Amino acid sequence: MIRAITFHIVTCDVCGDEDSDDPMPLYDTHERAAADARHAGWIVTADQRVICPVNDREHRAAVDRLMPPEPRIEIEGQQSLDLGTDTSR
Ligand SMILES: [Zn+2]
């Protein structure tokens, strides 16, 4: 019998695991692949981005891009408060 079998593998979106000597495990479901990767310390996002735990500049930058943007600070409001304290001197 010849039949097609679908399997899932996990590869890092940053480095593609080019340095790994270990054979890539095969998973029968996407959920098992994601769960095993998370258990091994990988980041797997809801939209299927995958980042391995290598701690170099490229991987840290990829993790930073997943973070929400910094909240904006209202500079004008702070300036008016500073002016108020200056007039009391
Ligand atoms: Zn990687």
pLDDT tens digit sequence for 1-34: 999 999 999 999 999 875 566 777 899 999 999 9
Alpha carbon of 5 to ligand 1 centroid (Å): 27
pLDDT tops 60 at residue 81: no
Residues 6 or more apart whose Cβ sits within 8 Å of residue 36: 10, 25, 27
For every residue of 53-70, which 3-state class applies, written as one string? CCCCHHHHHHHHHHCCCC
For 47, 56, 84, the CA distances from 33, given in Å and listed in that order, are 14, 24, 59
For 4, 33, 79, 84, the CA distances from 38, given in Å and listed in that order, are 28, 9, 46, 52
Alpha carbon of 84 to ligand 1 centroid (Å): 52
State which amino acid sits at residue 58.
E
pLDDT tops 60 at residue 56: yes
pLDDT tops 70 at residue 85: no
pLDDT of residue 86: 53
pLDDT of residue 68: 84
Q: Return the H-helix or E-strand segment holding 40.
A: none
More confident residue, 68 or 8: 8
Alpha carbon of 67 to ligand 1 centroid (Å): 18
The pair of structure tokens assigned to 2 is 């010849």
The pair of structure tokens assigned to 49 is 């981005």
Domain residue extents for the chain: 1-82
Alpha carbon of 56 to ligand 1 centroid (Å): 9
Instruction: Note the pTM of the prediction, 2 decimals.
Output: 0.67
Alpha carbon of 57 to ligand 1 centroid (Å): 11
